[in-house]
């Protein structure tokens, strides 16, 4: 049975070089039963520390952790009934796969018949029914990851916690395991908290994503909400790729669109719902590289190509707005088709986007 989770004003302080710092700063979160929620952010943002406090491996400096309304803040980790999948799998190399998965059940004192039934059910769930008598060293990385998951699921945890479980796998295997983990989570209906710094993992697996930065929550929302309507420049740049084009908000129209001035050129785009600037304020026009096109249109501005990268299926053009104070090039991702020619560096042309493809946020 899936459960809800609430974090109330959670903080975690550490002492580093004789100075106190907040690794997690006043985090508030409500997770619904059966939800797959991902903690996403760069290294050192506080996501793993938050997960470890939920698991009971770290103690909050202040705040409360509630599962189904029950305060578990000071409950020992082994009494919380939660399952934790580690980054390094933590399998016993001298035990068979069956014994690895059965280990927790043995500690609980369950009978051999009950253990055998539950272990085989768990191995069937992760697709390893024929691996019972093999050893971890005889399995691939993906298979070892599935054993680690089965070892947790066999205990029927209230909540599944996963700390960057795919980081040790190669790119192709990660794609497969994303699908497998999501399939298993949905089949069981279990509430899952998943930590990663991989944006693609977060976007493809999650019901909602919590983006963290500097120990704080930057934004919580569905993958599409975060991609379409980032609340801050950090979220815009961290979720996928984004061009943060500097400008000044000139006007807000009744239909929810704004007019932003970029190097003297007035452009129309959606107003951000999460963090909109006021008229007259400096702002960012956020446009994804795949939404910038090399052609003139209603919302177009002059750019100069400063670099070009052939990526197989696409050409990534790096461009600058002439005579601007731009600190780094913007990116334009153009599909490559056989016979397509590369545009020379130094060429000036028009870049355009549709108003729906751009969003204006506070700088």
121-167 residue pLDDT tens: 999 988 888 899 999 999 988 888 889 989 999 999 989 999 998 88
User: Please, what sign has the CA dihedral across residues 344, 349, 355, 360?
Assistant: positive
Rounded to whole angstroms, the Cα distance separating 314 from 265 reads: 28
pLDDT in the model for residue 354:
92
In three-state form (DSSP H/G/I as H, E/B as E, the rest C), the secondary structure along 329-346 is: CEEEEEECCCCCCCCCCC
Q: pLDDT confidence of 295, banded at 50, 70, 90?
A: confident
Asked if pLDDT for residue 200 goes beyond 80, the answer is yes
Tokens describing residue 223: 């993958």
Tokens describing residue 171: 């790119």
Mean pLDDT computed over every residue of the chain: 92
Which H or E element spans position 359?
strand 358-362
pLDDT in the model for residue 1:
60
> DSSP secondary-structure letter at 156?
-
pTM value is: 0.89
Ordered structural domains, the chain, with CATH: 5-228 (3.40.50.300), 241-362 (2.40.50.140)
pLDDT in the model for residue 98:
94
Asked if pLDDT for residue 174 goes beyond 90, the answer is no
Determine the Cα angle at 218 with ends 215 and 221, to 5°: 130
pLDDT in the model for residue 264:
87
Highest mean pLDDT among 13-17, 85-89, 251-255: 251-255
Mode of pairing for the β-strands spanning 300-310 and 282-287: unpaired
Question: Tens digits of per-residue pLDDT, 16-67?
Answer: 888 888 999 999 999 999 999 999 999 999 999 999 999 999 999 999 999 9
Rounded to whole angstroms, the Cα distance separating 57 from 72 reads: 12
Q: Which residue has the higher pLDDT, 193 or 167?
A: 193
């Amino acid at each position: 049975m899936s459960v809800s989770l609430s974090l109330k004003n959670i903080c975690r302080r550490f002492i580093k070089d004789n100075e106190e710092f907040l690794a997690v700063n006043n985090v508030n979160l409500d997770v619904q039963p059966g939800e797959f929620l991902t903690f996403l952010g760069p290294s050192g943002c506080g996501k793993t520390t938050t997960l470890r406090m939920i698991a009971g491996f770290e103690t909050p400096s202040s705040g409360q952790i509630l599962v189904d309304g029950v305060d578990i803040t000071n409950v020992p980790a082994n009494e919380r009934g939660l399952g934790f999948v580690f980054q390094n799998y933590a399998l016993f190399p001298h035990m068979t796969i069956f014994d690895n998965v059965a280990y927790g059940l043995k500690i609980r004192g369950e009978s051999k018949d009950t253990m055998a039934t539950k272990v085989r059910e768990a191995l069937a769930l992760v697709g390893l029914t024929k691996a019972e008598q093999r050893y971890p060293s005889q399995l691939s990385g993906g298979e070892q990851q599935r054993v680690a998951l089965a070892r947790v699921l066999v205990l029927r945890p209230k909540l599944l916690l996963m700390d960057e479980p795919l980081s040790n796998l190669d790119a192709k295997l990660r794609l497969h395991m994303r699908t497998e983990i999501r399939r298993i989570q949905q089949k069981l209906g279990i509430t899952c908290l998943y930590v990663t710094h991989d944006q693609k993992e977060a976007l493809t697996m999650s019901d909602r994503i919590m983006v963290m930065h500097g120990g704080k929550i930057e934004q919580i929302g569905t993958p599409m909400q975060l991609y379409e309507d980032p609340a801050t420049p950090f979220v815009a740049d961290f979720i996928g790729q984004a061009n943060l084009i500097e400008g000044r908000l000139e006007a807000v129209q009744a239909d929810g669109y704004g007019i932003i001035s970029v190097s003297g050129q007035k452009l129309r785009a959606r107003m951000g719902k999460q963090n909109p600037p006021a008229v007259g304020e400096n702002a960012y026009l956020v446009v994804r590289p795949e939404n910038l096109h090399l052609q003139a249109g209603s919302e177009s501005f002059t750019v100069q190509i400063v670099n070009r990268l052939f990526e197989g299926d696409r050409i990534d053009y790096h461009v600058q707005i002439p005579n601007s104070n731009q600190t780094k090039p913007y990116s334009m991702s153009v599909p490559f088709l056989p016979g397509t020619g590369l545009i020379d560096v130094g060429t000036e042309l028009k870049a355009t986007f549709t108003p729906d493809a751009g969003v204006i946020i506070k700088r």
